[in-house]
Copies of this chain bind each other. A is one copy, B any other.
Amino acid sequence: MSDARTDRDGLASPQRRHVLGRGLALVGGAVVGNAAAEKAAAESAAAPPDVPEWMKAPGADVGSEPYGSPSRFERDLIRNIPKSLPQYTSASSRTPLQDLDGIITPNGLFYERHHGGIPEIDPDRHRLMIHGLVERPLILTMAEIRRFPSESQIYFLECSGNPGFEAMTGRTASDLVGLVSCAEWTGVRLRTVLEEAGLKPEARWVVAEGADAAAMTRSIPLAKCLDDAMLVYSQNGERLRPQQGYPLRVLLPGFEGNMSVKWLRRLNVTAEPAHSREETSKYTDLMPDGTARQFTFMMEAKSIITRPSGTQRIARGFNEITGIAWSGRGRIAQVEVSVDDGQSWTVAQLQAPVLTRALTRFRLPWTWEGAPTTILSRATDETGYVQPHFAELTAVRGVKSFYHNNAIIPWRITASGEVTNGFLKA
């Protein structure tokens, strides 16, 4: 069993104990990054804790929450919703990445992006129509869709404007790249359903349409539909939430989130793409020469340090640097962390399992001596692609683009341990 342990954490080294040895000296002192906790720590060192009042009487009944919810002490841990939007029908809310651990995003905190609000769909009345260049047009009920062979996969989902090129002024990790989340999805391989309908030889695209007020419409290349694309009805074990497309959505692993059409009602198999609004005036990339790149589906390799990150504060001594990395092209091969603004890089530990097109958690132990600095992370995926600096990105793409910004995110740390967005002036 000790072998398994060594496999899993990769940290069982003399160096680790040394780091912890330094940590120990700190644990007894005032080290914890905010005044209240420092005070509490100082008190706790003085006397053992009394029996707390919550041990002196029975607690709440089993089943007091037939469907559970977080502690009331966590009521501020909610989706990050812009306060200044003109309207909320076509808008987004972000996952609070800086407060989350691991790689699974709980359904209640999964990011949202809607173009016509969130429809409330009766699953018994919902239908999926498959038509166009098929041998046998089909109209399927949800019960019929659930009869197909199923699969479950852990995949990230990310909005392609995460963040927009001109939207890098946020304070927190969530403000910057909170339009990414990760879940275990269950459904049927899209290929299976298309084979049921029978593709005609001239089929090249599948146009997906949502049953929301925006009738969200995106064209998906047939190759993706026959590869790892899914029709999804469950997320993290339970049925999709309304915000995520209940009762049925497309899931295109690694592609920009907008294409994973929610509230799916129609798949039209075609020879040409639809050139819908969301693939012409929107979700295209304006290049320096004035042309627009269309059908830029892939979400390239990216990472962000979530702790320490903007608005947090660190103390001198041991700090674990941790964050998430992901690539639409497959597995994360490596994440490097710099604690000196890019002068040098150290390979971080990756938490197993490292899954294709899923978030990957990385960690690096770090002892901060108190000098101001900037910390960075950069991901490399299994294709060898390396996450670029923002300047490298704009050298190719110019500054007129909005979508597909996967630049390295810098966090500035002041002498007092405050962490701020390194894109902004100090």
Contact = CB atoms under 8 A, between A and B. Distances in A.
Contacts of A54: 119-121, 211-213, 263
Interface string A246-280: 11000000000000000101000000000000000
Given A32-B141, A44-B139, A55-B212, A71 B17 contact: no
A1 interface: yes
A14 interface: no
Contact of A89 (B62, B69, B112, B236): B62
Contacts of A213: 54-59
A371 interface: no
Given A5-B228, A79-B63, A237 B101 contact: yes
Contacts of A237: 100-106, 109
A49 B34 CA distance: 58
Interface string A88-99: 110111000001
A117 interface: yes
A27 B136 CA distance: 11
Interface string A25-62: 01100011110110011001100110010111111111
Interface stretch (A122-130, A372-380, A406-414, A416-424): A122-130
A129 B109 CA distance: 32
A340 B379 CA distance: 51
A189 B62 CA distance: 29
B79 A147 contact: no
Nearest to A81: B63
A338 interface: no
B69 A88 contact: no
Given A123-B73, A356-B4, A363-B150, A106 B144 contact: no
A106 B104 CA distance: 10
A202 interface: no
Given A59-B114, A150-B320, A71 B27 contact: no
A237 B79 CA distance: 13
B5 A52 contact: no
A12 to B, nearest CB: 9
Given A55-B212, A63-B112, A17 B117 contact: no
B129 A71 contact: no
A16 interface: yes
Interface in A120-173: 120-127, 129, 136, 138-141, 143-144, 147-154
A205 interface: no
Q: Indicate the size class of the contact surface on chain A.
A: 35 or more
A243 to B, nearest CB: 6
A138 B66 CA distance: 37
Nearest to A110: B68
A71 B224 CA distance: 29
Interface string A184-206: 11100101100110000000000
A11 interface: yes
A352 B73 CA distance: 36
Contacts of A31: 144, 147
A6 to B, nearest CB: 11
A353 interface: yes
A113 B271 CA distance: 56
A61 to B, nearest CB: 4
A1 B228 contact: yes
Nearest to A197: B24
A398 interface: no
A24 B196 contact: yes
A334 interface: no
A112 B154 CA distance: 25
Contacts of A77: 67, 238-239
15 contacts: A1-B228, A24-B136, A27-B147, A40-B143, A41-B141, A55-B215, A59-B212, A61-B87, A61-B117, A62-B113, A63-B91, A67-B70, A68-B110, A150-B322, A152-B351
